[in-house]
Amino acid sequence: MADKFDVIVIGAGPGGYVAAIRAAQLGLKAACVEKWIGKEGNVVHGGTCLNVGCIPSKALLEASNKFVEAKHDFDDMGIYARDVTMDVKKMMARKDKIVKNLTGGISGLFKANGVTAIEGTGKVVSGKQVEVTDLDGNTTTYDADNIVIAAGSVPVEIPPTPLTEGLIVDSTGALEFQETPKRLGVIGAGVIGLELGSVWNRLGSEVTVLEAMDSFLPMVDTAIAKETQKLLKKQGLDIKLGARVTGSESKGEEVVVKYTDANGEQEMTFDKLIVCVGRRPYTKGVIADGVALSWASVALSSLTTSAAPTCRAFTPSVTVYAVRCWRTKRLKKASWWRTSSLATKPR
């Protein structure tokens, strides 16, 4: 048996690493388990957000925006740039450098705050034990008074468009294109799909977005959604609402997508296809068979106490919520804890 911890967090994404650091700051002996392998072959922290989500996509958005500004907007300032081109491979290298710097920063934060970083795949094997399988296949079991499951999420795949190497990709694959596709299809007009479509449209792709729903960004304020749709159409995105994808066929270096809309059966041909229809909680292998832990908390996007009283499961939207539930004697003794918002009862 290895060391015992007050809390073990499974997953070092924005939910997990913040929870582990906060727990350590509040006086708990904390560890964080992570299995994500970076491009250099070593374990990296940051989860989806830092590695293949928010951070790399924003790096590409910034680069593509500067490209458009240089081509079209500098003249008004008296700056004349001619024959502006984009080196996509160099843009990707910059993106990778940004990701490396930020993920490395989390390792530094762990050391500074006394969080033990454990490399490997974590699994809850009982109410108070976590089994970790390292990169060599060796297993170690750790005891913990509290366990936070912050395993994150993965892209949703749909049967009509099975992923293929380099042709039909998810959001992760769309961050690795080495050249600008001439015709780009995006399935899903959510935040991720629109963001990626915007990047490649700025760089010269003819982008078509196929959205099954009849309304645009229904989850946001109506006025904001309306203005966003206007801006994206002005930018050049062809957004087709009420277009339900029914099938796809790869033909060499092209993919033919079939969909139905108000006019019946339609099809379009693309050089690349990005599937962005949402994300689902990652649960594979996180909990051993027979362990009583419900994932309802993840579906509800809130923290709930499971049937195993020492286990918590949560999403990044409630990062510190797990820590708020740990009313240890050490915390209650601290005057700042009694007067802080963390000491209040969660609503």
Residues in the chain: 347
* pLDDT value of residue 5: 96
Where are the domain boundaries for CATH 3.50.50.60 in the chain?
4-152+282-343, 157-278
Residue 117 Cα distances to 9, 97, 98, 176, 234, angstroms: 10, 22, 22, 28, 47
Residue environment code for 150-172, b if the CB has 16+ CB neighbours within 10 A, otherwise e: bbbbebeeeeebebeeebbbbbb
* pLDDT value of residue 72: 86
Global pTM reads 0.82
Chain center to CA of 244 = 25
Is pLDDT at 304 greater than 90 in this prediction?
A: no
Bigger pLDDT: 320 vs 43: 43
Calpha distance 264→33 (Å, rounded): 50
DSSP line for 294-318: --HHHHTTS-EE-SSTTEEE--GGG
Calpha distance 57→65 (Å, rounded): 12
CATH of region 4-152+282-343: 3.50.50.60
Q: Average model confidence (pLDDT) for the chain?
A: 85
SS3 (DSSP) at 95: helix
**Selection from 41, 20, 21, 11 nearest residue 123 by Cα:** 11
What's the rounded mean pLDDT across residues 179-195? 96
* pLDDT value of residue 334: 38
**Selection from 279, 298, 261 nearest residue 191 by Cα:** 279
SS3 (DSSP) at 131: strand
CATH topology of domain 157-278: FAD/NAD(P)-binding domain (3.50.50)
Residue 266 CB contacts under 8 Å (≥ 6 apart), including other chains: 243, 258, 259, 260
